[in-house]
Chain A
C-alpha cells in the first residue's frame, strides 16, 4: 500500500514499446511540472523499447530521487492493474485496455496515442473520450504542456458500460428469447 501522503504518477506503455513516450517522460522539466502539481512519485512501465530513462534517474540505474520526486522504472509487470488503481495520475498509451482500466478505476488519465502505429484508431478513441471530458489526450510533443495545464477536477467520471445489452440481443438472434 502506498503511504497516505504519496501521490504517484504511473506511466504505462503496455505490452509493446513506445519510446517516444518514455523519452518525453525522461525530462527534468516534466518532473518539475509533476512536482508542481503535487505528485511525489513517478513509476514508469517502459515496455521492451531500448530507451532507458537516464535523465531523471542516475544513468544505468532503475530508481532514484530527482528534484525531490522518487522515480523508478521497469519493463513490464503482470500486475499493472495494481499500479493503475493506486496511482493519483496515469499517463498511458492509448490502448483500450489501459484506458478503460484507468477510467473505471476512477483515476485521472492523460493518454498519449502512439503516432507510429499503422491505421491509428488509438487516436480516434483518445480523442472521442477527450471530447466527452473523461480524459486528456496529447501527442508526445504536447505532453509537457498537457501536464502543466492538467486539472483532474475538470474530468468527468466514466460510467462503466455493460455487455448485458449485447448478450440479450444475441439471445434473441439465436432464438433463446422471443
Chain B
C-alpha cells in the first residue's frame, strides 16, 4: 500500500464517496421510472415542436389532452423554424376560443447544426444549443417535457435528466415516436430508450413495441 498523507486520503475518500453518490443518483433516475404520486394541481408542461410533421403530431396529441391539467405550457421551437410557433398560437386560439389566448409561452432554441454546416463549427453551435437548453429547462423547471423528435429535442431531454439527477427538478419526459417509424426507431428514440431518459416512450405501431418492450403502443395519432 502507498503511504498517503491523511489529508489526501480524506480528500480521496470524499471524492470517491461523491462519485458513488452521483452514480447511484444517475442509476436511480434511469431505472426508477414510475408514475408520479396522486396529483391535483396542474403540471407545468414544456412541449418541443420539431417542425413539419413532428409539430403536426405533437399538436394533435395536445388536442386530446386535458389542457387545464397541462398548464402553463411552454412551446420550444427551433430558431430556424418559421412555422411551428404560429401553428401553436393558432391552436391555442382554437382551444381557448379567443383571439388573445393566455397561459402559454414560446421559446426559440438555436439549432445545433444547420444543413450543410461544417462539422468543425457545428461543435461550437452544438455546445451553444446545449447550454441554451439547460438554461431554459432550469428557468422553467417543467413537470412534464413532451417531445417527438427530431434531434432538437435531445438537449432539452438531457437537461431534464441532469436536473433530476441533481435533485433540482422532478421533470417527467414523455416521447412520442413519429407515425412514419413503423419498423425502426429514429435516432432520438434510440438515444432516449437506451439511456432510459424517457419515462414514457410511445410508438404508433404495435410491431415496434414488440421490438422494444419498454415502448408503449397506445394507438395512433392519425
Contacts and interface: CB of A to CB of B under 8 A. Distances in A.
Contacts of B202: 166, 169
B49 to A, nearest CB: 14
B219 A96 contact: no
Q: DSSP class of A's interface residues: helix, strand, loop or mixed?
A: helix
Nearest to A14: B52
A163 B180 contact: no
B219 A162 contact: yes
Contacts of A124: 180-184
B216 A169 contact: yes
B183 A167 contact: no
Given A97-B53, A100-B222, A163-B60, A128 B43 contact: no
A170 B202 CA distance: 10
Interface in B178-222: 178-184, 186, 199-200, 202, 204-205, 216, 218-222
Nearest to B56: A97
Interface stretch (B20-28, B34-42, B95-103, B125-133): B34-42
Contacts, number: 105
Interface string A137-178: 000000000000000000000001111111111111111101
Query: How big is chain A's contact interface, by range?
Result: 20 to 34
A166 B176 contact: yes
Interface in A95-137: 95-97, 100, 103-104, 121-122, 124-125, 127-128
Given A173-B174, A175-B38, 9 more contacts: A121-B184, A128-B182, A161-B219, A162-B219, A166-B219, A167-B61, A170-B144, A175-B37, A175-B39
